[in-house]
Amino acid sequence: MCIAIPAEVIEIKEGNIGVVDFGDLKQEIRLDLVDVEVGEFVLIHVGFAIQKMSREEGLETRSLFREVYSAMDQKPPVTL
C-alpha cells in the first residue's frame, strides 16, 4: 500500500500520462501530482508519480526497495 519505487520518466504523453522505466520494466503511469521532464526520476506509488527525486537517490534506493518488497510480496512489486 505505501509501497513506492523510483523510476525514470522516459516519455510524456497527453493527459498527464507518462511512461517510466523501472530498470527491467516499462510502464504507463499518471503524472497528475508532479511537474516533470523526460529524464527525471520520480517515486511511483499505486500507478502515480508522487514526488520527484534525484537520479542518484532513485538508482540507490531502487535496488533496496526491490529486495524489501519482493521478499514481502514474492512477486514483482511494481504491480502493486
Distance CA 37, CA 79 (A): 24
- In the block, which residue shows the cell 514526488? 51
14, 24, 37, 71: which one contacts other proteins (CB under 8 A)? 71
**How far apart, in Å, are the Cα atoms of 55 and each of 26, 39, 63, 66, 73?**
17, 9, 13, 16, 26
Site string for other proteins, 14-43 (x = CB under 8 A): --x-------------x-xxxx-------x
**Contacting positions for other proteins (CB under 8 A):** 1-4, 16, 30, 32-35, 43, 45-48, 50-51, 53-54, 56-57, 60-61, 64-65, 67-69, 71-73, 79-80
